[in-house]
Protein backbone atom coordinates (compact mmCIF):
# COMPACT_ATOMS: atom_id res chain seq x y z
CA UNK A 1 0.00 0.00 0.00
CA UNK A 2 1.38 3.40 -0.99
CA UNK A 3 3.16 5.41 1.70
CA UNK A 4 2.12 8.54 -0.22
CA UNK A 5 -1.44 8.41 1.14
CA UNK A 6 -2.14 11.78 2.76
CA UNK A 7 -3.95 12.31 6.04
CA UNK A 8 -7.54 13.46 5.52
CA UNK A 9 -7.49 16.58 7.71
CA UNK A 10 -4.23 17.00 9.66
CA UNK A 11 -4.71 20.78 9.76
CA UNK A 12 -7.69 20.23 12.07
CA UNK A 13 -5.52 18.80 14.88
CA UNK A 14 -2.82 19.95 17.27
CA UNK A 15 0.14 17.57 17.05
CA UNK A 16 3.73 18.00 18.19
CA UNK A 17 6.29 18.27 15.42
CA UNK A 18 8.03 14.97 14.85
CA UNK A 19 5.58 12.91 16.91
CA UNK A 20 3.81 10.04 15.19
CA UNK A 21 0.68 9.41 17.17
CA UNK A 22 -0.60 5.83 16.94
CA UNK A 23 -2.77 5.81 20.04
CA UNK A 24 -5.89 7.62 18.90
CA UNK A 25 -7.77 4.43 19.74
CA UNK A 26 -7.04 5.24 23.41
CA UNK A 27 -7.08 9.06 23.41
CA UNK A 28 -7.67 11.07 20.27
CA UNK A 29 -5.48 14.01 19.35
CA UNK A 30 -6.74 17.50 20.20
CA UNK A 31 -8.68 19.28 17.44
CA UNK A 32 -7.60 22.88 16.83
CA UNK A 33 -10.93 24.39 17.85
CA UNK A 34 -10.93 22.98 21.37
CA UNK A 35 -8.69 25.53 23.18
CA UNK A 36 -10.79 28.49 22.07
CA UNK A 37 -14.02 26.70 22.96
CA UNK A 38 -12.74 25.92 26.46
CA UNK A 39 -11.47 29.47 26.91
CA UNK A 40 -14.90 30.79 25.93
CA UNK A 41 -16.59 28.35 28.30
CA UNK A 42 -14.38 29.49 31.18
CA UNK A 43 -14.14 33.23 30.68
CA UNK A 44 -17.46 34.14 29.07
CA UNK A 45 -20.02 31.43 29.70
CA UNK A 46 -19.00 30.60 33.27
CA UNK A 47 -17.12 33.60 34.62
CA UNK A 48 -19.28 36.31 33.03
CA UNK A 49 -22.66 34.78 32.20
CA UNK A 50 -22.76 32.46 35.21
CA UNK A 51 -25.99 30.53 35.71
CA UNK A 52 -27.73 32.33 32.86
CA UNK A 53 -25.67 30.15 30.51
CA UNK A 54 -28.10 27.29 31.03
CA UNK A 55 -30.53 29.31 28.90
CA UNK A 56 -28.52 31.98 27.13
CA UNK A 57 -25.68 29.70 26.00
CA UNK A 58 -27.74 26.55 25.50
CA UNK A 59 -26.22 24.46 28.25
CA UNK A 60 -29.49 22.66 28.93
CA UNK A 61 -29.88 21.58 25.31
CA UNK A 62 -26.22 20.60 24.88
CA UNK A 63 -26.48 16.85 25.76
CA UNK A 64 -29.16 16.30 23.12
CA UNK A 65 -27.47 18.50 20.53
CA UNK A 66 -24.16 16.69 20.90
CA UNK A 67 -26.08 13.41 20.98
CA UNK A 68 -27.53 14.14 17.56
CA UNK A 69 -24.07 15.06 16.23
CA UNK A 70 -22.68 11.74 17.45
CA UNK A 71 -25.79 9.96 16.23
CA UNK A 72 -25.06 11.16 12.70
CA UNK A 73 -21.65 9.44 12.96
CA UNK A 74 -23.13 6.11 14.08
CA UNK A 75 -26.14 5.88 11.80
CA UNK A 76 -28.75 7.07 14.27
CA UNK A 77 -31.52 9.48 13.37
CA UNK A 78 -32.21 12.53 15.55
CA UNK A 79 -33.62 12.04 19.04
CA UNK A 80 -32.01 8.67 19.79
CA UNK A 81 -28.60 9.58 21.24
CA UNK A 82 -27.85 11.71 24.28
CA UNK A 83 -24.47 12.62 25.72
CA UNK A 84 -23.41 12.58 29.37
CA UNK A 85 -21.89 10.53 32.19
CA UNK A 86 -19.25 7.83 31.66
CA UNK A 87 -19.23 4.74 29.48
CA UNK A 88 -19.52 2.62 32.61
CA UNK A 89 -22.66 4.46 33.71
CA UNK A 90 -24.19 4.22 30.25
CA UNK A 91 -23.39 0.52 29.95
CA UNK A 92 -25.00 -0.15 33.34
CA UNK A 93 -28.05 1.76 32.14
CA UNK A 94 -28.39 -0.29 28.97
CA UNK A 95 -27.73 -3.71 30.52
CA UNK A 96 -30.30 -3.26 33.26
CA UNK A 97 -32.82 -1.77 30.84
CA UNK A 98 -32.28 -4.62 28.36
CA UNK A 99 -32.92 -7.26 31.02
CA UNK A 100 -36.02 -5.42 32.24
CA UNK A 101 -37.38 -5.47 28.67
CA UNK A 102 -37.38 -9.29 28.84
CA UNK A 103 -38.85 -10.26 32.23
CA UNK A 104 -38.70 -13.96 32.96
CA UNK A 105 -35.57 -14.51 30.87
CA UNK A 106 -32.50 -15.28 32.92
CA UNK A 107 -29.35 -15.14 30.77
CA UNK A 108 -27.03 -12.28 29.76
CA UNK A 109 -24.58 -13.20 26.98
CA UNK A 110 -21.36 -11.23 26.64
CA UNK A 111 -17.90 -11.54 25.09
CA UNK A 112 -15.50 -13.40 27.34
CA UNK A 113 -12.63 -11.39 25.85
CA UNK A 114 -14.38 -8.04 26.08
CA UNK A 115 -13.06 -4.98 27.85
CA UNK A 116 -12.88 -5.58 31.62
CA UNK A 117 -15.36 -2.83 32.52
CA UNK A 118 -17.97 -4.44 30.27
CA UNK A 119 -17.44 -7.74 32.03
CA UNK A 120 -17.44 -6.28 35.54
CA UNK A 121 -20.68 -4.44 34.90
CA UNK A 122 -22.32 -7.48 33.33
CA UNK A 123 -21.50 -9.45 36.48
CA UNK A 124 -22.83 -6.66 38.68
CA UNK A 125 -26.10 -6.45 36.76
CA UNK A 126 -26.44 -10.22 36.93
CA UNK A 127 -26.05 -10.14 40.71
CA UNK A 128 -28.51 -7.30 40.98
CA UNK A 129 -31.19 -8.98 38.86
CA UNK A 130 -30.40 -12.63 39.66
CA UNK A 131 -29.30 -13.49 36.12
CA UNK A 132 -26.73 -15.90 34.68
CA UNK A 133 -23.81 -14.57 32.62
CA UNK A 134 -22.64 -16.63 29.65
CA UNK A 135 -19.28 -15.61 28.18
CA UNK A 136 -18.53 -16.52 24.57
CA UNK A 137 -16.76 -15.22 21.49
CA UNK A 138 -19.31 -13.50 19.21
CA UNK A 139 -18.72 -16.14 16.54
CA UNK A 140 -20.25 -18.71 18.91
CA UNK A 141 -23.48 -16.80 19.48
CA UNK A 142 -25.82 -19.02 17.44
CA UNK A 143 -25.04 -22.04 19.65
CA UNK A 144 -25.98 -20.21 22.85
CA UNK A 145 -29.10 -18.22 21.99
CA UNK A 146 -32.34 -19.69 23.29
CA UNK A 147 -35.57 -18.72 25.02
CA UNK A 148 -33.69 -17.99 28.27
CA UNK A 149 -31.59 -15.21 26.70
CA UNK A 150 -32.62 -11.75 27.87
CA UNK A 151 -29.87 -9.72 26.25
CA UNK A 152 -26.64 -9.94 24.28
CA UNK A 153 -23.88 -7.38 24.84
CA UNK A 154 -20.77 -7.18 22.66
CA UNK A 155 -18.18 -4.61 21.67
CA UNK A 156 -18.26 -4.01 17.93
CA UNK A 157 -14.45 -3.95 17.77
CA UNK A 158 -12.30 -6.10 20.04
CA UNK A 159 -10.17 -3.71 22.07
CA UNK A 160 -7.18 -6.09 22.06
CA UNK A 161 -7.04 -7.54 18.56
CA UNK A 162 -8.94 -5.02 16.46
CA UNK A 163 -11.37 -7.68 15.23
CA UNK A 164 -14.58 -6.18 13.85
CA UNK A 165 -17.81 -8.10 14.40
CA UNK A 166 -20.94 -8.28 12.27
CA UNK A 167 -23.27 -5.63 13.69
CA UNK A 168 -26.22 -6.43 11.43
CA UNK A 169 -25.84 -10.21 11.56
CA UNK A 170 -25.38 -10.46 15.32
CA UNK A 171 -28.28 -8.08 15.93
CA UNK A 172 -30.56 -10.06 13.64
CA UNK A 173 -29.66 -13.35 15.32
CA UNK A 174 -30.27 -11.86 18.75
CA UNK A 175 -33.68 -10.55 17.70
CA UNK A 176 -34.61 -13.90 16.15
CA UNK A 177 -34.17 -15.41 19.62
CA UNK A 178 -36.36 -12.69 21.14
CA UNK A 179 -33.51 -11.04 23.01
CA UNK A 180 -32.34 -7.42 23.25
CA UNK A 181 -29.08 -6.31 21.57
CA UNK A 182 -26.62 -3.96 23.29
CA UNK A 183 -23.49 -2.75 21.48
CA UNK A 184 -20.40 -1.05 22.92
CA UNK A 185 -19.06 1.22 20.16
CA UNK A 186 -16.06 2.70 21.96
CA UNK A 187 -13.59 1.42 19.34
CA UNK A 188 -15.89 2.01 16.38
CA UNK A 189 -17.55 5.43 16.63
CA UNK A 190 -15.71 7.88 14.40
CA UNK A 191 -13.48 5.18 12.90
CA UNK A 192 -15.89 3.39 10.58
CA UNK A 193 -19.48 3.63 9.36
CA UNK A 194 -21.91 2.24 11.95
CA UNK A 195 -25.55 1.85 10.92
CA UNK A 196 -27.51 1.51 14.14
CA UNK A 197 -30.94 2.35 12.74
CA UNK A 198 -30.46 0.29 9.60
CA UNK A 199 -29.44 -2.78 11.62
CA UNK A 200 -32.34 -2.37 14.06
CA UNK A 201 -30.05 -2.13 17.08
CA UNK A 202 -31.87 -1.70 20.39
CA UNK A 203 -29.30 -0.05 22.65
CA UNK A 204 -25.73 1.15 22.30
CA UNK A 205 -23.12 3.09 24.22
CA UNK A 206 -19.80 4.65 23.39
CA UNK A 207 -17.07 6.90 24.69
CA UNK A 208 -16.04 10.13 22.99
CA UNK A 209 -12.34 10.42 23.86
CA UNK A 210 -11.02 7.89 21.34
CA UNK A 211 -11.77 8.38 17.63
CA UNK A 212 -14.20 11.23 18.40
CA UNK A 213 -11.27 13.17 19.93
CA UNK A 214 -13.27 14.68 22.80
CA UNK A 215 -10.36 14.79 25.24
CA UNK A 216 -9.47 12.98 28.48
CA UNK A 217 -12.57 12.28 30.53
CA UNK A 218 -14.91 13.41 27.76
CA UNK A 219 -18.51 12.31 28.42
CA UNK A 220 -19.90 9.13 26.94
CA UNK A 221 -23.23 8.69 25.16
CA UNK A 222 -26.18 6.33 24.99
CA UNK A 223 -28.39 5.27 22.08
CA UNK A 224 -31.96 4.15 22.69
CA UNK A 225 -33.87 3.18 19.55
CA UNK A 226 -36.93 5.36 19.00
CA UNK A 227 -39.25 2.35 19.11
CA UNK A 228 -38.11 1.46 22.64
CA UNK A 229 -38.30 4.87 24.26
CA UNK A 230 -41.92 4.53 25.35
CA UNK A 231 -41.35 1.22 27.16
CA UNK A 232 -37.75 1.23 28.35
CA UNK A 233 -37.14 1.34 32.12
CA UNK A 234 -33.74 2.86 32.83
CA UNK A 235 -32.38 2.22 36.33
CA UNK A 236 -30.74 5.58 37.07
CA UNK A 237 -33.56 8.08 37.38
CA UNK A 238 -32.07 11.50 37.98
CA UNK A 239 -33.96 14.75 37.86
CA UNK A 240 -32.58 15.76 34.45
CA UNK A 241 -34.39 12.77 32.96
CA UNK A 242 -37.77 13.73 34.45
CA UNK A 243 -40.50 14.78 32.05
CA UNK A 244 -40.87 18.04 34.02
CA UNK A 245 -37.48 18.55 35.66
CA UNK A 246 -38.13 22.06 36.93
CA UNK A 247 -41.46 21.14 38.48
CA UNK A 248 -39.35 19.40 41.15
CA UNK A 249 -41.96 16.74 41.73
CA UNK A 250 -41.53 14.21 44.51
CA UNK A 251 -41.89 11.11 42.30
CA UNK A 252 -40.10 10.25 39.08
CA UNK A 253 -41.82 10.25 35.70
CA UNK A 254 -39.51 9.71 32.73
CA UNK A 255 -39.38 12.10 29.80
CA UNK A 256 -41.18 10.73 26.76
CA UNK A 257 -38.03 10.96 24.62
CA UNK A 258 -34.30 10.29 24.69
CA UNK A 259 -34.17 12.97 27.42
CA UNK A 260 -35.14 10.23 29.90
CA UNK A 261 -31.59 8.91 29.55
CA UNK A 262 -30.22 12.04 31.22
CA UNK A 263 -29.37 11.59 34.90
CA UNK A 264 -27.83 14.58 36.67
CA UNK A 265 -25.90 17.71 35.81
CA UNK A 266 -23.53 16.89 32.94
CA UNK A 267 -19.82 17.83 32.85
CA UNK A 268 -20.33 21.04 30.89
CA UNK A 269 -16.69 21.99 30.36
CA UNK A 270 -15.83 18.58 28.93
CA UNK A 271 -19.01 18.59 26.90
CA UNK A 272 -18.24 21.96 25.34
CA UNK A 273 -14.75 20.71 24.45
CA UNK A 274 -16.33 17.66 22.81
CA UNK A 275 -18.74 19.83 20.87
CA UNK A 276 -15.80 21.73 19.38
CA UNK A 277 -13.87 18.52 18.76
CA UNK A 278 -16.66 17.08 16.64
CA UNK A 279 -16.09 19.89 14.15
CA UNK A 280 -13.12 17.83 12.92
CA UNK A 281 -15.62 15.58 11.12
CA UNK A 282 -17.41 18.41 9.32
CA UNK A 283 -17.55 17.71 5.58
CA UNK A 284 -15.77 14.35 5.86
CA UNK A 285 -17.63 11.20 4.92
CA UNK A 286 -17.09 8.20 7.18
CA UNK A 287 -16.75 6.07 4.06
CA UNK A 288 -13.59 8.06 3.26
CA UNK A 289 -12.35 7.62 6.83
CA UNK A 290 -12.94 3.89 6.54
CA UNK A 291 -11.16 3.58 3.19
CA UNK A 292 -8.13 5.46 4.49
CA UNK A 293 -8.13 3.47 7.72
CA UNK A 294 -8.10 0.18 5.82
CA UNK A 295 -5.25 1.41 3.64
CA UNK A 296 -3.18 2.32 6.69
CA UNK A 297 -3.92 -0.92 8.52
CA UNK A 298 -3.09 -2.84 5.34
CA UNK A 299 0.22 -0.97 5.25
CA UNK A 300 1.08 -1.99 8.83
CA UNK A 301 0.09 -5.60 8.28
CA UNK A 302 2.08 -5.89 5.04
CA UNK A 303 5.18 -4.36 6.66
CA UNK A 304 4.93 -6.67 9.66
CA UNK A 305 4.57 -9.73 7.42
CA UNK A 306 7.50 -8.74 5.21
CA UNK A 307 9.92 -7.21 7.69
CA UNK A 308 9.15 -8.23 11.27
CA UNK A 309 8.50 -11.96 11.40
CA UNK A 310 12.22 -12.56 11.88
CA UNK A 311 11.82 -10.84 15.27
CA UNK A 312 8.98 -13.17 16.30
CA UNK A 313 6.34 -10.54 15.56
CA UNK A 314 2.88 -11.91 14.78
CA UNK A 315 -0.06 -9.96 13.37
CA UNK A 316 -3.06 -10.65 15.61
CA UNK A 317 -5.57 -8.42 13.82
CA UNK A 318 -7.69 -10.10 11.13
CA UNK A 319 -6.40 -9.56 7.61
CA UNK A 320 -9.84 -9.48 5.99
CA UNK A 321 -10.97 -5.85 5.70
CA UNK A 322 -14.53 -6.73 6.68
CA UNK A 323 -13.28 -8.11 9.99
CA UNK A 324 -10.91 -5.32 10.98
CA UNK A 325 -11.38 -2.12 12.95
CA UNK A 326 -8.90 0.77 12.88
CA UNK A 327 -6.05 -0.55 14.97
CA UNK A 328 -3.50 -3.31 14.39
CA UNK A 329 -2.20 -5.47 17.23
CA UNK A 330 1.20 -7.09 16.97
CA UNK A 331 2.16 -9.92 19.33
CA UNK A 332 5.85 -9.96 20.23
CA UNK A 333 8.29 -10.73 23.04
CA UNK A 334 8.99 -7.77 25.32
CA UNK A 335 6.03 -5.84 23.93
CA UNK A 336 5.90 -3.47 26.91
CA UNK A 337 9.56 -2.55 26.62
CA UNK A 338 9.29 -2.15 22.84
CA UNK A 339 6.37 0.22 23.33
CA UNK A 340 8.38 2.36 25.75
CA UNK A 341 11.37 2.45 23.41
CA UNK A 342 9.14 3.65 20.57
CA UNK A 343 7.60 6.36 22.74
CA UNK A 344 11.11 7.62 23.53
CA UNK A 345 11.58 8.00 19.76
CA UNK A 346 8.37 9.93 19.30
CA UNK A 347 6.27 7.02 18.04
CA UNK A 348 3.38 6.71 20.49
CA UNK A 349 1.44 3.44 20.48
CA UNK A 350 0.29 1.37 23.44
CA UNK A 351 0.69 -1.98 25.12
CA UNK A 352 -1.88 -4.55 26.13
CA UNK A 353 -0.97 -7.42 28.43
CA UNK A 354 0.59 -9.82 28.14
CA UNK A 355 2.40 -9.39 24.82
CA UNK A 356 0.68 -7.03 22.38
CA UNK A 357 1.77 -3.74 20.86
CA UNK A 358 -1.33 -1.87 19.66
CA UNK A 359 -1.09 0.67 16.85
CA UNK A 360 -4.10 2.91 16.28
CA UNK A 361 -4.46 4.20 12.71
CA UNK A 362 -6.45 7.42 12.66
CA UNK A 363 -6.52 8.71 9.07
CA UNK A 364 -7.79 12.19 9.94
CA UNK A 365 -4.26 13.05 11.07
CA UNK A 366 -2.06 10.09 10.06
CA UNK A 367 -0.51 9.69 6.60
CA UNK A 368 1.05 6.72 4.88
CA UNK A 369 4.43 8.40 5.31
CA UNK A 370 3.85 8.60 9.06
CA UNK A 371 3.13 4.88 9.14
CA UNK A 372 6.25 4.08 7.12
CA UNK A 373 8.39 6.09 9.54
CA UNK A 374 6.78 4.42 12.55
CA UNK A 375 7.29 0.92 11.21
CA UNK A 376 10.92 1.68 10.34
CA UNK A 377 11.47 2.83 13.92
CA UNK A 378 9.84 -0.36 15.20
CA UNK A 379 12.12 -2.49 13.06
CA UNK A 380 15.17 -0.59 14.28
CA UNK A 381 14.14 -0.97 17.93
CA UNK A 382 13.83 -4.73 17.38
CA UNK A 383 16.98 -5.07 15.28
CA UNK A 384 19.22 -3.12 17.67
CA UNK A 385 17.48 -4.49 20.78
CA UNK A 386 17.16 -0.90 21.96
CA UNK A 387 14.18 -1.97 24.07
CA UNK A 388 16.57 -3.81 26.41
CA UNK A 389 17.83 -0.51 27.85
CA UNK A 390 17.16 -0.27 31.57
CA UNK A 391 15.01 2.86 31.23
CA UNK A 392 12.37 0.89 29.31
CA UNK A 393 11.92 -1.85 31.92
CA UNK A 394 8.50 -2.20 33.47
CA UNK A 395 8.06 -0.15 36.66
CA UNK A 396 5.30 0.15 39.22
CA UNK A 397 5.91 3.93 39.08
CA UNK A 398 4.90 3.99 35.40
CA UNK A 399 1.73 1.93 35.05
CA UNK A 400 0.35 3.77 32.00
CA UNK A 401 1.87 3.35 28.56
Instruction: Give me the active site residues, please.
Output: 115, 184, 209-210, 358
Q: What is the DSSP letter of 357?
A: E
Q: How far apart are CA 15 and CA 23, in angstroms?
A: 12
Closest residue by Cα to residue 135 from 147, 148, 118? 118
Contact 367, 10 (CB under 8 A): yes
CA 179, CA 170: separation in Å to the nearest integer? 11
C-alpha angle 339-316-116 in degrees, rounded to nearest 5:
75
Q: Decide: 352 and 23 in contact? Cβ < 8 Å.
A: no
Give the span between the Cα atoms of 200 and 170, in whole angstroms. Answer: 11
Neighbours of 396 (CB within 10 A): 5
Alpha carbon separation from 73 to 25, 67, 135 (Å, rounded): 16, 10, 29
- Give the HSE-up count for residue 220: Cα atoms under 13 Å, Cβ half-sphere: 22
Amino acid sequence: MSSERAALAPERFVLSDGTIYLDGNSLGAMPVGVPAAVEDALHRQWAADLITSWNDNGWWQLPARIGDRIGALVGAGPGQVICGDSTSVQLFQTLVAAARLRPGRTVLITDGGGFPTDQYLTDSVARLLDLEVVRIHPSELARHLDARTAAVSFSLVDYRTGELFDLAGVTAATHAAGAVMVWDLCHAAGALPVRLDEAGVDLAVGCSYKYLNGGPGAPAWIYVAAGLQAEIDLPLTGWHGHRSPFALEQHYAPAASIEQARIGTPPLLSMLALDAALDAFDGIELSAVRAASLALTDQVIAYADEQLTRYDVEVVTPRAASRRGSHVSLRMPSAYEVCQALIARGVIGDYRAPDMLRLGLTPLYLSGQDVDRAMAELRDVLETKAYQAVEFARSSDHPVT
